Amino acid sequence: MAVWFAEKALLPDGWAHNVSITISDSGDITGIVANAAPDGERLPGIVVPGMPNLHSHAFQRAMAGLTEVVANPSDSFWSWRDLMYRMAAKITPDQVEIIARYLYIEMLKAGYTSVAEFHYLHHDNHGNPYSLQDSLALRISRAASQSGIGLTLLPVLYSYAGFSGQPPGQGQRRFIQDTDSYLALHHYLTAQLAREPMQRTGLCFHSLRAVTPEQIQQVLAYHAHQPQPVHIHIAEQQKEVDDCLAWCGQRPVAWLFDHVAVDHHWCLIHATHLSVPETDRLAASGAVAGLCPTTEANLGDGIFPGQRYLSQGGLWGIGSDSHITVSVAEELRWLEYGQRLQDQRRNRLALPDEPAIGNVLYQGALRGGAQALGQKIGRLQPGYRADLLVLDDREPFIATASDAMRLNRWLFACSANPVRHVMTGGRWVIKDGHHADDESLSVAFIRVLKQLR
Ligand code: NGQ
Ligand code: ZN
């Protein structure tokens, strides 16, 4: 057991002062007392809960920046995807693990203390399955445990290239499973991850394009006795909406709600293109909208109807997805800025009882992110995992901020990252901006980038 003392800490209902935080040997918070007498070791700075990252394709970190080159005048999400397939086709198991380890350390430094990995890289480069013991998903699990980040591992069911069961293309050969092989992988990984205290599995469908309605029903029926997080990409691009309308006469989110019991276990990734009724249904469902503003901007997806969704009480969280950038602040800032650019107004994502945008953004992303990962995280509260950030109180904007303005100052004013120390599961993983494996992993990551260039 350890007792820490923070002069300022962000609790579920706001900032508290002189907070004593007790953490068990197993890494959970067992006591929080505000206005306490100084006791225990002082946390050198300002304490906030670590942020869950609810959407990641780790291998895509290796191609960040390389696709910002015009190949043809109509470059789009779909031409980016072809380049992504080319990267996915050649990557080796060792490379997957090194990229993920390096990325997860970048995430920790950025303030993400857990990640949901949407993992569909299943087979070797000929499209032949690995044995379960050699599955690439285990490389992800190992990368997470070695970096110290929490993990919700989402092995992905991916069977088809488009609506109505179109046969997969050559570029998708490493992704393709049927329902049985998917369930076997999920079962195996769940047993393996039971040994990792900060890891769990969840269910995942790549998209309505990549699975049939029957497959969704089969997987959910198989797991009906044990509900768990369920993630899906949905309505990311207008073309997906158009193809879905051509397939069934309904928009993707409307179809999902009419055919599947979407509840608080679900996380709908992107959900960019929503009609007003779809926005309101998603908000009322208790499911999480998994927003990835920097990737959605990078890929030209569109803008999520954030203001309406928040006004309807919708839950949401953030993901760094393709990892074009790895920054909690940038993700949250762009969520708000997208709304401003679209509406030609300022301060869009306020709530009736919370006028400061930074507070709405940070607390909202903690709540939705934790729900989407299905873990006891995202709150400095007894019973939750001790995942926390210490912000540098020597940083001028952080040092001088009032309680009401502190998150606004971080998210909208700091040009450098003020995250100084990071604790996950009660252990320090980032100290003064550094991870114990920084040097060895930079060398390994440089080697991988050269190999993949
Ligand atoms: C993915 N990426 O699965 O990596 C997707 C695109 C697709 C993002 N949505 C590929 N950012 O939709 O098939
Ligand atoms: Zn994605």
Tens digits of residue pLDDT in 278-300: 999 999 999 999 999 999 999 99
Residue 328: other Cβ atoms inside 10 A = 25
Ligand 1 centre to CA of 443 (Å) is 29
Q: How confident is the model at residue 39 (pLDDT cuts 50, 70, 90)?
A: confident
Q: Provide mean pLDDT across the span 55-66.
A: 98
pLDDT at position 438: 98
Tens digits of residue pLDDT in 156-187: 999 999 999 999 999 999 999 999 999 999 99
Task: Give the closest residue to 292 by CA, choosing from 315, 271, 265.
Answer: 271
- Express as a percent the part of the chain with pLDDT over 90: 98
Q: How confident is the model at residue 306 (pLDDT cuts 50, 70, 90)?
A: very high
Q: Is the pLDDT of residue 275 over 90?
A: yes
Q: Which residues of 57-68 are buried (b: 16+ CB within 10 A; e: fewer)?
A: bbbbbbbbeebe
CA dihedral of residues 324, 90, 437, 114 (deg, nearest 10): 50
pLDDT at position 50: 99
81 lines ligand 1 (CB under 6 A): yes
Ligand 1 centre to CA of 218 (Å) is 23
Return mean pLDDT, the chain: 98
Q: Provide mean pLDDT across the span 200-204.
A: 98
Ligand 1 centre to CA of 341 (Å) is 25
Q: Is the pLDDT of residue 274 over 90?
A: yes
Tokens of 101: 């380890």
The residue whose CA is least distant from atom 1 of ligand 1 is 57
296 lines ligand 1 (CB under 6 A): no
The residue whose CA is least distant from atom 6 of ligand 1 is 81
Q: Provide mean pLDDT across the span 102-111.
A: 98
Ligand 1 centre to CA of 119 (Å) is 11
Residue 449: other Cβ atoms inside 10 A = 17
Q: Provide mean pLDDT across the span 74-97.
A: 96
The residue whose CA is least distant from atom 13 of ligand 1 is 81
321 lines ligand 1 (CB under 6 A): yes
Q: Provide mean pLDDT across the span 233-259.
A: 98
Ligand 1 atom with minimal separation from the 296 CA? 11
Q: How confident is the model at residue 98 (pLDDT cuts 50, 70, 90)?
A: very high
Ligand 1 centre to CA of 175 (Å) is 12
322 lines ligand 1 (CB under 6 A): yes
61 lines ligand 1 (CB under 6 A): no
Ligand 1 atom with minimal separation from the 120 CA? 3
3-class state of residue 280 by DSSP: helix
DSSP string, 129-188: BPPGGG-HHHHHHHHHHHHT-EEEEEE-B---SBTTTBPPPGGGTTT---HHHHHHHHHH
Ligand 1 atom with minimal separation from the 57 CA? 4
Ligand 1 centre to CA of 395 (Å) is 37
Ligand 1 atom with minimal separation from the 77 CA? 6
57 lines ligand 1 (CB under 6 A): yes
Tens digits of residue pLDDT in 129-147: 999 999 999 999 999 999 9
The residue whose CA is least distant from atom 10 of ligand 1 is 81
Of 63, 80, 322, the one to substitute when testing ligand 1's pocket (max ligand atoms within 8 A of C-beta) is: 322
pTM as predicted: 0.98
- Provide φ and ψ at 371, rounded to 5°: -65, -40
Q: Is the pLDDT of residue 124 over 90?
A: yes
Q: Which residues of 110-145 are buried (b: 16+ CB within 10 A; e: fewer)?
A: bbbbbbbbbbbbbbeeeeeeeebeebbbbbbbebbb
Ligand 2 centre to CA of 322 (Å) is 7
- Provide φ and ψ at 288, rounded to 5°: -100, 135
The single-letter code of the amino acid at 110 is A
Tens digits of residue pLDDT in 355-376: 999 999 999 999 999 999 999 9
pLDDT at position 221: 96
Ligand 2 centre to CA of 358 (Å) is 25
The residue whose CA is least distant from atom 4 of ligand 1 is 57
295 lines ligand 1 (CB under 6 A): yes
Q: How confident is the model at residue 395 (pLDDT cuts 50, 70, 90)?
A: very high
pLDDT at position 8: 98
Q: Which ligand is nearest to the CA of 324?
A: 1
Task: Supply the residues annotated as catalytic.
Answer: 270, 321
Residue 401: other Cβ atoms inside 10 A = 21
The residue whose CA is least distant from atom 7 of ligand 1 is 81
Partner residues linked to 408 by β-bridges: none
Q: Which ligand is nearest to the CA of 237?
A: 1
Ligand 1 atom with minimal separation from the 292 CA? 11
236 lines ligand 1 (CB under 6 A): yes
